[in-house]
Structure formats: structure tokens, C-alpha cells
Amino acid sequence: MGSREPTESTPDSRSRWTASAIASSSDTANENVPVRLRPSSEQDLEFVLKLEADPETARFIHPWLIDEHRAAIDDPSVAHSIVEHAELQLPVGFVILRGLGTEVLELRRIAISEKGRGYGTHALGLVKDAVFGELGARRLWLDVYDFNERARLIYDAEGFVAELERPASGACGGCAEGTVTVMALERD
């Protein structure tokens, strides 16, 4: 999946994201928002790879090699973040955002290990707050497979609008057939 949008990164964009994500999630780390975001590190990659390999995740994504994750962590135009349980301080997922330093960001990936407990919804809310707040973007977009009901539910609930459909590439666990929908959210 390639971004259809022009990108132009700035060296400080990642630190801006990091500060924003931590600040916004710390402010809201309570019963209602049980997760927060923090930058991923080398030590997190075992968790990330295990989550990507889980069949309930792998069928909806294109799992990456460890070096692809390392490159993303090092890329100043990418925010590779762990979704952490706020009280337990344990990873429950991760989020990858591309295009930092531009007005158009891509939610490249979101994956949650303990599915169906609201963590994905809350993490997406934190991402939205940072993207349209501190990061000053005007548009956030993503791709989702049509058979990914759980993901569609959280994107719909957060206001993402379906823009176009295209055939699936067949490169992920369960996507040999079907379609991919591009969904986007614009700043109010």
C-alpha cells in the first residue's frame, strides 16, 4: 500500500508526535481512557512481531519483517507507537502513522492484542487528537479490508468516511479476495 499523497518530513516531527501523544494520553489516562501511546523501541519488537503473527491479526494486515519495523522506528516521518495499558503499563497494541511533517497523514497500521475491550477505539481517539491537534494535520486516511468488520466499526464510530474501493492485493492472510476501502477523516 503506498501513500497517494505527497509527503514532506521535517526532522522534529517525530519528537513533536511523541510529546503530543504522551501528553494527551497522560492527561486522559483514567477509567474512561484505559490506554496511552508511547514511542516504540527495539525492546518492543518481539511483542509487535508476535501480535502481527497472531492469526486474528495477520488475516487483516500485511505483517512486516523486523527490519521494516526498525526502519519505521528510525524514520522521522513515521510515528511507531506502542498502545500501553495505562494502569498495568503493559503493551496491548501498536500504531504506525506515516507522513509526519505534512498535512496529510496515513494511519498505516493499528493492531490490538486484547481485542474487543475498547482499546482500539480509545487508541484511535488518542491518534485523532494528536493528528488534528499538536501535529496540525488536515487529513488522516487509511486502508481497510471489507471483511474487517471490527476495524470498520471503530473507523465508522470515529467519523472516517469511505472514499473509494479497490480490489485487495491478496498479500495478507485473509485477503485473497474482496476489496479494500480507503477511508479518511478531515479536520473540522
Which chain residues interact with ligand COA by CB under 6 A?
57, 60-61, 110-112, 115-121, 144, 148-151, 153-154
Q: How far is the CB of 185 from ligand COA (least distance, A)?
A: 14
Q: How far is the CB of 8 from ligand COA (least distance, A)?
A: 25
Residue nearest ligand COA, CB atom distance: 120
Q: How far is the CB of 27 from ligand COA (least distance, A)?
A: 20
Q: Which is nearer to ligand COA, 84 or 101 (CB)?
A: 84
Give the separation between CA 43 and CA 125, rounded to whole angstroms.
25
Residue 37: name the closest of 136, 107, 139, 116 by CA.
Answer: 107
The one-letter amino acid code at 115 reads K
Buried b (16+ CB within 10 A) or exposed e, 113-124: beeeeebbbbbb
99: left (phi over 0), alpha (psi -120 to 50) or beta: left
Q: Which is nearer to ligand COA, 79 or 101 (CB)?
A: 79
Q: Which is nearer to ligand COA, 19 or 153 (CB)?
A: 153
Give the separation between CA 80 and CA 78, rounded to whole angstroms.
6
Q: How far is the CB of 183 from ligand COA (least distance, A)?
A: 9
Residue pair 171/185 in contact by the 8 Å Cβ criterion: no
Q: Which is nearer to ligand COA, 102 or 148 (CB)?
A: 148
Cell numbers describing residue 155: 473507523
Q: Which is nearer to ligand COA, 126 or 151 (CB)?
A: 151
Residue pair 37/84 in contact by the 8 Å Cβ criterion: yes
Q: How far is the CB of 123 from ligand COA (least distance, A)?
A: 7
Q: Which is nearer to ligand COA, 76 or 178 (CB)?
A: 178
Q: How far is the CB of 117 from ligand COA (least distance, A)?
A: 5
